[in-house]
Amino acid sequence: MTSLFLLLLWFSVHLTFSKTTSGVFNSQSTIREKGHYITSFCFHGGNGTVLYKFNVTADASFYLFLDEDWQEALDHDNCQSKLGLARLIDNLTDSEGNFTVSPFTKPRRWHIIMADRLTCGSEETESQSIISYEIQTLNPDSLHNPTDHCSCEELGLLRFFQLLTLVYFLSGCICAPKIWEALRKQGPMHVLLIILNLVTLTQGIAALFTTLILRSYTIDGETSPWLEFFTLVLDQFAQYLALVLLLSLSIGRDMAGASLDLISHYHKLSDKPTLKIIQFLAILQIIFILTNLFSQRDLQFPLDPGLPNLCLLAARAMLAIAMATRLQKFVQGERSVLKRHFYSGFNRNCLMWFLCYPLFHLVSFIFSPYFRPKFILLSVESIECLACLLQYRLLISRSLYWEVSSLSSYLPLRMDKSFGAKLYS
């Protein structure tokens, strides 16, 4: 309970999750940090605009660094040398105003730093300035007016997620009767179909919440950190369920005797070491989500591709490959052509889900840095949606076969091959 209260308190104080950035400038702490870091923003073609508002008249300046210059500036111990790398300096003379960021031929990411006359002083003084600020960074819209809160990485994401949410909704409306019919029959693939429903439902809700976040972000540059956190948790829960789905079939290929109760089925899986590894990876991912929320100041879709997250993604992909390989070994010994086709298709769709992120992450290096996160996000979300639809098609199209196969396994007698053959003398 204490940790939950501290997390809520931090969210209420540190409001820098969007491009309407609020905070407090303290000249004493700025001396130690050699400049107060505000935010970063990727301005695209045309003139980007920065709007600022202070509670008092600020005797300070904004220093804007290009991304490559900022990385170099972080290595400087000398304050003057660090601020000297700024490409743009705007001296503040009023409590509110704006200034324009010069256009470039291609989108560029800028880091905004605030400093006053005391920042590069040789030692701390008793006098200090405490200034509350609110800053908005804007890109030009289609009419070249500075009204767009979206950075380069976020352009087009709202329309994509609106379309993705619509696809989930329409697919659900179209497939709902067949899914309900298959669930009502309670066939041998009943549990797998329930887990797949949970995966798709979770993905659809996460897409809807992402649409709401981006909609709010586009209008005023602000969004709810709680909604962002919950959306990321939903996405990771879907990844967890997808692994459980693959595990369910890899350890029990013939689902004819599987429990129809999802809770009982999950309890049966709880003894498997693989499930404990899956749960451990899920807990680590949630921890990294919280770490990102504490360390990142911008809207983060997808998760920050740092080394810990990449290691987790690689571990999840290797675990999926191991389970799929185990299932494939049994497929090779399966005599039924339909069963082989089902297992191979199931494996292919699951691997499509888990390998798409590592694959697209590698492919993204051919693009510009600002475009890589968007390329990864759009590609992964599209492939995961496609994988869900293909799994539904596979499970529903084979439902009658599995019912007949299940019934045949309980027949008490087997027909003699020579039964009914005519005898000729």
Please write the tens of the pLDDT for every residue from 241-268.
Answer: 998 888 888 775 545 444 456 777 777 7
pLDDT for the residue numbered 11 = 36
Mean pLDDT of the chain: 76
Q: What stretch of H or E contains 26?
A: strand 20-26
The H-assigned helical ranges of 398-424 are 399-408
pLDDT digits (tens, 9 = 90+) for 334-351: 677 777 788 888 888 989
Share of the chain above pLDDT 70, in %: 76
CATH number of the domain that residue 24 is part of? 2.60.120
Q: What stretch of H or E contains 135?
A: strand 130-140
Task: Report the side by side order of strands in the sheet with 36-43.
Answer: 36-43, 108-116, 60-66, 88-91
Residue 263 counted as domain residue: yes
Cβ-proximal residues to 250 (8 Å cutoff; 6+ apart), any chain: 323, 324, 326, 327
Q: Which pLDDT band, with edges at 50, 70 and 90, does 220 fall under?
A: low
Which of 122, 148, 174 delimits the end of a domain?
148
Residue 418 counted as domain residue: no
Residue 414 counted as domain residue: no
pLDDT digits (tens, 9 = 90+) for 377-402: 899 999 999 999 999 888 887 655 55
pLDDT for the residue numbered 421 = 44
pLDDT for the residue numbered 410 = 41
Residue 78 counted as domain residue: yes
Which of 86, 116, 148 delimits the end of a domain?
148
Please report, to the nearest 10 degrees, the dihedral formed by the alpha carbons of residues 205, 210, 213, 216 taken in order: -100
Is residue 118 pLDDT above 70, yes or no?
yes
Cβ-proximal residues to 189 (8 Å cutoff; 6+ apart), any chain: 182, 255, 395, 398, 399, 402
Q: Which pLDDT band, with edges at 50, 70 and 90, does 161 fall under?
A: very high
Q: How many CA atoms lie within 13 A of 49 on its CB side?
A: 14
Alpha-carbon distance of 395 to 4, in angstroms, equals: 41
180 and 164 inside one domain:
yes
What is the model's pTM? 0.72
27 and 176 inside one domain:
no
202 and 275 inside one domain:
yes
pLDDT for the residue numbered 207 = 92
135-149, 201-215, 317-331, 358-372 — which is least confidently predicted? Answer: 135-149
Q: How many CB atoms lie within 10 A of CB 409?
A: 11
How many independent structural domains does the chain possess? Answer: 2
Is residue 405 pLDDT above 60, yes or no?
no
Give 210: exposed, middle or buried? Use CB within 10 Å, 0-12, 13-18, 19+: buried
Residue 119 counted as domain residue: yes
What range defines the domain where residue 120 resides? Answer: 17-148
Q: Which of 14-23, 118-127, 375-384, 410-419 is the most confident on average?
A: 375-384
Per-residue pLDDT averaged across 226-235, rounded?
A: 85
37 and 166 inside one domain:
no
Q: How many CB atoms lie within 10 A of CB 3?
A: 8
